[in-house]
Chain A
């Protein structure tokens, strides 16, 4: 088991370097003027540009720039925005909000998705089954921002049940509806995945054996069936948490949540290179770590993987 984890960790390292280098390349080395719009309407004076270029080492080879950036990262220095604010501070303010939102979305999608999936998986073809299939299909088909807008308009503006936008404190209660919207697509996937997993495993030989042993139906389903069927679903949830933590740009935009998604979006548009790189690198690390965690979790859940 330990060897398995080590191997996965080692595979992670080149991917980390590759992805972060790619991001660095995209942000800093693609054609396009990094200083567009920094000095108001006019283009910046040459002296300013020269100074900035020196300060940000933009004249050096991009690989060297990247390595220097990494070095700083490891010391906790995410750099500064062009106006001198430490990027680390911006992130520290915004990330907790995103994490809360991601957790809310995850819990909602897991609970509802698993319940709906188990119920319909055990009893295919019924009224509930068709209802669930159709509604998940709709959720998958309609883009998140449409759902978000509709929910915001109906629940927030028309019916007034919730606040249309989230305050800067972003309390958990305020995040319930945005979390639901954010998790809606994944919830549909979780439901379908659970349903498929359960209905496939329902006919497997070990379930037949469990019945032949005279175990109660509750035990056959609750212990044998569930445990095996849950494996792909739990791994999906784990990976999903990684992408949820990656910032929900659309949802945060609609509900005005001051999380990392909004931060990076604004920074991209205003070409705050340091913020963009810093945030995206952090998100990549989180995503890769979550993937690793999920792989480990998978090995814990399915003993057959441990000895591969």
Chain B
């Protein structure tokens, strides 16, 4: 009532006959949807701008590594083993004499691809199950929630290590195989989180009057879900997805660090850190550069997620 944002709106006594010729004193602003409002807000936040710029740069790095280095990330010359950074090799050479700078650049693609794929699978799987559970409720919800609880009860790192260690030999040395295994493992153990988020958003949406109205008018479940519920459930999932992307990149690094994630011939920052582990004292640069890139990337995504969340939060105005 004393909230200034309700100004310019019709009071209870001045309803019905609005005179179209008489302008509402002062020109009422066009009301904006939550999405465009959020976009307007986002555009002005430094957090958002910085993170988006960073991410754009990283994407270029990932898509066109050749633009940034001409060296082959897998070509090793043992005579150059562990040479510190110099004019020809900005980040030095690793244990097997490979150019660390080149490996870091090429590692960008793998790290980001793994993050994106894992996030996509997690959100798709968890999201669809979550919205179904939220929409149908009843035994469907009960069943799906119990299944989610079961996977939830598995400690992530432990479960991942068990699965990865078991299937290690099966995938052998195939780069695609190794990457796929890691991606699928991460998704399989993380989908309950996105399922729960989507489910609670779906339950909140289901109880809204416009959803009830749609169902009363006879809209099919598919239509109700797609048209009415989905747009409102997207915001929390979107926030989760951006943050999860960053988290997954970090998780991949952790798994590679534990020697169960990605490994040769795949080049990722996690692999590089894992290889650099034992030489921390003598050649800290081997760990420093991939770790720095890793930290900055994860930071960029988490910042983005933060900015998106604040922009979507109607209470933060």
Contact = CB atoms under 8 A, between A and B. Distances in A.
A142 B155 contact: no
A141 B250 contact: yes
Contacts, number: 116
Interface in A214-272: 243, 246-247, 249-250, 253, 264-265, 268-269, 271
Interface in B284-305: 284, 287, 291, 294-295, 298-299, 302-303
Nearest to A284: B153
A249 B158 contact: yes
Interface string B153-165: 1110111011101
Interface residues of B, number: 40
A207 interface: no
B264 interface: no
A282 to B, nearest CB: 11
A243 B155 contact: yes
A149 B315 contact: no
A153 B158 CA distance: 26
Given A32-B170, A268-B165, A276-B162, A141 B302 contact: yes
A15 B150 contact: yes
B165 to A, nearest CB: 5
A27 B162 contact: yes
Interface in B230-250: 246, 250
Contacts of A288: 153
From A11, A157, A268, A280, name the one whose CB has the most chain B CB atoms within 10 angstroms.
A268
B260 to A, nearest CB: 8
Contacts of A39: none
Interface string B62-84: 00000000000000000000000
Given A26-B162, A32-B166, A19 B295 contact: no
Main secondary structure of the interface of A (DSSP, over half): helix
A125 interface: no
Given A19-B153, A268-B162, A268-B165, A141 B254 contact: no
Nearest to B246: A141
Contact of A249 (B151, B153, B161, B306): B161
A150 to B, nearest CB: 8
Nearest to A288: B153
B299 A265 contact: no
Contact of A280 (B158, B163, B284): B158
A23 B158 CA distance: 10
From B165, B253, B281, B306, name the one whose CB has the most chain A CB atoms within 10 angstroms.
B165
A65 B195 CA distance: 32
B245 to A, nearest CB: 12
Interface in A6-53: 11, 14-16, 18-19, 22-23, 26-27, 30-32
Contact of B155 (A141, A149, A247): A247
Interface string B122-152: 0000000000000000000000001101110
Nearest to B169: A32
Interface of B: 146-147, 149-151, 153-155, 157-159, 161-163, 165-167, 169-170, 246, 250-251, 253-254, 257-258, 273, 280-281, 284, 287, 291, 294-295, 298-299, 302-303, 306, 315
7 contacts: A27-B162, A32-B169, A143-B257, A144-B254, A145-B253, A250-B257, A265-B258
Top 8 closest pairs, chain A to chain B, by CB: A18-B150, A141-B299, A19-B153, A141-B298, A143-B250, A246-B155, A15-B149, A142-B295
